[in-house]
């Protein structure tokens, strides 16, 4: 089947907009981060509604304020954060699946609930594939994050399907959960009792230092753990720095680290913490294996 290429042009974007899929598995042996979608739950939902493959690439938006223009017909789907959306100037309430015509202008405004939005497209964005993944990562793919005037290819569709599912309501209630479930990390037992208790009983705040590599928490935790030899780290690993800072590693984090790893988030909690805005509070809850 011959498929025509269309382009989505970025007219305006904040920092932290990128193409993501399920990430690159198997390249950590060369020091390559996992990458891939921060909120797997919302990403999977978007591809599901579009009847896409699980691994089809979507645009991940981590800051409010994105304008894009499509040059050919397609079907898109928004999921994740609850956002203000306009299509050709008209406000859309509860946007989910949206048929797109040539020259349509989509404007994403403020994020009411949540911090990460997915813009999925029928058959996925056709950004270059490097090391089995289309996920953008500086130094591996040409782009690290989306820039103004950049065009991202997709396969156009000739017929807009009948929109039976268009009224599917996006569930955003889970985005307000506060509990971050985590397994004890490899160095949990080296943490003194006071710090363990503090970690389990206190609220922690998401700081402004939040990106695809890590989320730094505002509160400090005393750290008396001796220096350790560099070992593996994974998305969802919570590191405790020598200065007592808590770093929740995300998808673009380095594959190894030298700080004690005190927690390992569950998959759901990785999605959840990614959706938290700076200043929002979380509570860790230890989970047994």
Partner 1 sequence: MKPKFKQISPLICEFEWESNVSDLLLEEQLGFKSALEKDFSAELCELRMGFKTVSVLFSKPRIDFEIKNWLESISLEKSTHSLPEKIWEIPVCYASETGRDLESLAKTKKISVEELITLHSKPLYRLHFYGFLPGFMYLNGLPKTLHTSRKSVPDREVPVGSVAIGGVQTGIYPSSSPGGWHLIGQTPLPLFNPSLDIPVFAEVGERIKFTPITFQEFEHLKRNPKPPKFR
With respect to partner 1, which residue has the nearer C-beta, 7 or 183? 183
Helix 267-274 and helix 40-49, axial crossing angle in degrees, nearest 10: 90
In whole angstroms, the minimum distance from the beta carbon of 27 to partner 1 comes to: 8
Binding segment for partner 1 among 21-29, 80-88, 105-113, 275-283 (CB under 8 A)? Answer: 21-29
The CB-of-31 to partner 1 minimum distance in angstroms stands at: 4
- Closer of 161 and 258 to partner 1 (Cβ): 258
**Binds partner 1 (CB under 8 A): choice among 26, 153, 222, 244:** 26
Q: Is 139 in the site for partner 1 (CB under 8 A)?
A: yes
Task: Give yes or no for residue 232 binding partner 1 (CB under 8 A).
Answer: yes
Report the alpha-carbon angle 149-150-153, nearest 5.
Answer: 135
Q: CA-to-CA distance for 224 and 229, rounded, in angstroms?
A: 16
Alpha-carbon span 38 to 23, nearest angstrom: 10
Nearer to partner 1, 165 or 179 (CB): 179
Binder to partner 1 among 195, 264, 271, 275 (CB under 8 A)?
264
Q: Are 54 and 41 in contact (CB under 8 A)?
A: no
Query: Smallest gap, in angstroms, from Cβ of residue 289 to partner 1?
Result: 6
Q: Decide: is 55 part of the binding site for partner 1 (CB under 8 A).
A: no
CA distance 174 to 171: 7
Min dist. Cβ of residue 139 to partner 1 (A): 5
Give me the residue label for tokens 């943490």. 191
Angle (nearest 5°) at CA 146 between 215 and 111? 55
At 73, is the secondary structure helix, strand, or coil? coil
For residue 261, report the phi and psi dihedrals to the nearest 5 degrees.
Answer: -105, 105
Q: Helix H segments across the chain?
A: 40-49, 193-201, 267-274
Both tokens of 33, joined, read 């981060």
Contact 75, 119 (CB under 8 A): no
Q: Which stretch binds partner 1 (CB under 8 A): 6-14, 77-85, 93-101, 255-263?
A: 255-263
* 120 class by beta-carbon count within 10 Å (0-12 exposed, 13-18 middle, 19+ buried): buried
Which pair of structure tokens corresponds to residue 127? Answer: 């950004």
Please state the closest distance from residue 19 (CB atom) to partner 1, in A.
16
Contact flag: residue 165 with partner 1 (CB under 8 A): no
Q: Which of 92, 105, 131, 170 binds partner 1 (CB under 8 A)?
A: 131
Work out which of 254, 268, 277, 278 binds partner 1, going by CB under 8 A: 254
Q: Which is nearer to partner 1, 155 or 183 (CB)?
A: 183
179 part of the interface to partner 1, by CB under 8 A: no
Window contacting partner 1 (CB under 8 A); options: 6-14, 147-155, 181-189, 199-207: 181-189
User: Could you tell me which residues are beta bridge partners of residue 242?
Assistant: none
Binding residues vs partner 1 (CB under 8 A): 25-33, 130-131, 138-141, 183, 185-186, 229-232, 234, 236, 254-257, 264, 266, 289
């Amino acid at each position: 089947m011959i498929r025509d290429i269309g382009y989505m042009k970025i007219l305006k974007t904040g920092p932290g907009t990128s193409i993501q899929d399920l990430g690159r598995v198997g390249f950590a042996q060369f020091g390559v981060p996992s990458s891939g979608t921060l909120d797997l739950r919302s990403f999977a939902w978007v591809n599901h509604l579009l009847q896409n493959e699980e691994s089809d690439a979507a645009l991940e938006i981590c800051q409010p304020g994105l304008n894009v223009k499509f040059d050919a017909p397609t079907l898109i789907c928004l999921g994740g954060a609850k956002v203000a959306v306009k299509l050709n100037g008209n406000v859309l309430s509860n946007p989910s699946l949206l048929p797109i015509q040539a020259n349509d202008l989509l404007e994403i405004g403020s994020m009411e609930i949540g911090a990460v939005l997915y813009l999925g497209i029928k058959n996925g964005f056709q950004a270059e594939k490097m090391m089995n993944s289309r996920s953008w990562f500086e130094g591996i793919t040409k782009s690290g994050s989306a820039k103004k005037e950049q065009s991202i290819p997709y396969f156009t569709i000739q017929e807009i399907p009948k929109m039976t599912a268009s009224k599917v309501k996006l569930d955003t209630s889970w985005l307000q959960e506060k509990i971050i479930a985590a397994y004890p990390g490899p160095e949990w037992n080296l943490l003194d009792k006071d710090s363990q208790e503090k970690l389990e009983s206190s609220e922690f705040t998401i700081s402004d230092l939040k990106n695809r590599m890590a989320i730094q928490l505002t509160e400090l935790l005393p750290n008396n753990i001796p220096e350790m030899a560099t070992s593996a780290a994974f998305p969802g690993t919570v590191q405790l720095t020598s200065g007592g800072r808590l770093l929740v590693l995300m998808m673009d984090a380095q594959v190894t680290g030298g700080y004690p790893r005190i927690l390992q988030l569950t998959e759901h909690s990785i999605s959840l913490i990614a959706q938290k805005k700076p200043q929002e509070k979380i509570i860790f809850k230890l989970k047994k294996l």
